[in-house]
Amino acid sequence: MNASPPPPSRTALDLLRWQFDLTWSLFEYHLERIEPDDFLWEPAANCWTVRRSGDGTWTPDWADTEPDPVPVPTIAWLSWHMGWWWSVALDHAVGRTPRNRTDITWPGPGAPTVEWLRGLRQDWLTALDGLTTADLDAPAAFPGPEDPQHTIARMITWVNAELMKNVAEIGQLRLQRAALD
Find residue 50's DSSP bridge partners.
Answer: 60
Distance CA 50, CA 60 (A): 4
Cα torsion 88, 90, 92, 97: sign: negative
> CA-CA distances (angstroms) from residue 158 to 74, 139, 142?
22, 14, 9
In a domain, 176, yes or no: yes
pLDDT at 7: 47
**What pLDDT score was predicted for residue 12?**
86
Residue 153 placed within a domain: yes
pTM of the model: 0.91
CATH of the domain at 175: 1.20.120.450
Residue 123's domain comprises: 12-51+70-180
In a domain, 3, yes or no: no
Q: Is residue 130 part of a domain?
A: yes
**Which pLDDT score is estimated for 1?**
47
Query: Which residues in the chain show pLDDT less than 50?
Result: 1, 6-9
Assigned domain for 4 exists: no
Q: Residues 31, 32, 38, 43: what is their CA dihedral angle, to the nearest 10 degrees?
A: -60
Quote the pLDDT of residue 56. Answer: 95
Number of separate domains in the chain: 1
If phi > 0 it is left, if psi is from -120 to 50 it is alpha, else beta; for residue 45 that is alpha
- Which candidate, 39, 33, 20, 26, places its Cα nearest to that of 113? 39
